[in-house]
Amino acid sequence: AQRVTQPEKLLSVFKGAPVELKCNYSYSGSPELFWYVQYSRQRLQLLLRHISRESIKGFTADLNKGETSFHLKKPFAQEEDSAMYYCALSGGRETSGSRLTFGEGTQLTVNP
């Protein structure tokens, strides 16, 4: 069974501080990991995926297979980063289509 855990429901930091949103997963095969973000009154949107190895809006995430983690990091948080962040997993070709398994989300608040 596949499972995604985000241990922090709420995370509050000050502007300019580093931020790390934790994500751990459980999956027996080779997963694909994603971070989705939902800004206030907007729909869920893809922030980044591990296979792209890119930085979006200053955020990066590295897949650590040994620790089964995919933590999201940003060195200097901005107020506009305040949003709900969801970590998600797909089994890729090993499951049907691209169904996603989501964590419960972390509400990030960046204070001025």
Partner 1 sequence: NAGVMQNPRHLVRRRGQEARLRCSPVKGHSHVYWYRQLPEEGLKFMVYLQKENIIDESGMPKERFSAEFPKEGPSILRIQQVVRGDSAAYFCASSPSLLAGYNEQFFGPGTRLTVL
Chain residues in the site for partner 1 (CB under 8 A): 4, 6, 32, 36, 43-46, 49, 51, 86, 90, 92-93, 95-105
* C-beta of 28 vs 96, nearer to partner 1: 96
Considering the complex, what minimum distance in angstroms separates the CB of residue 89 from partner 1? 11
Quick check: 21 and 84 in contact, CB under 8 A?
A: no
* C-beta of 17 vs 51, nearer to partner 1: 51
Q: Residue 4 belongs to what H/E stretch?
A: strand 3-5
Considering the complex, what minimum distance in angstroms separates the CB of residue 109 from partner 1? 17
* C-beta of 19 vs 33, nearer to partner 1: 33
Count of CB atoms within 10 A of residue 91's CB? 19
Considering the complex, what minimum distance in angstroms separates the CB of residue 42 from partner 1? 8
Considering the complex, what minimum distance in angstroms separates the CB of residue 75 from partner 1? 26
CB-neighbour burial class of residue 6 (10 A; exposed 0-12, middle 13-18, buried 19+): buried
User: CA 51 to CA 38: how far, in whole Å?
Assistant: 21
Q: Residue 46 belongs to what H/E stretch?
A: strand 45-49
* C-beta of 34 vs 74, nearer to partner 1: 34
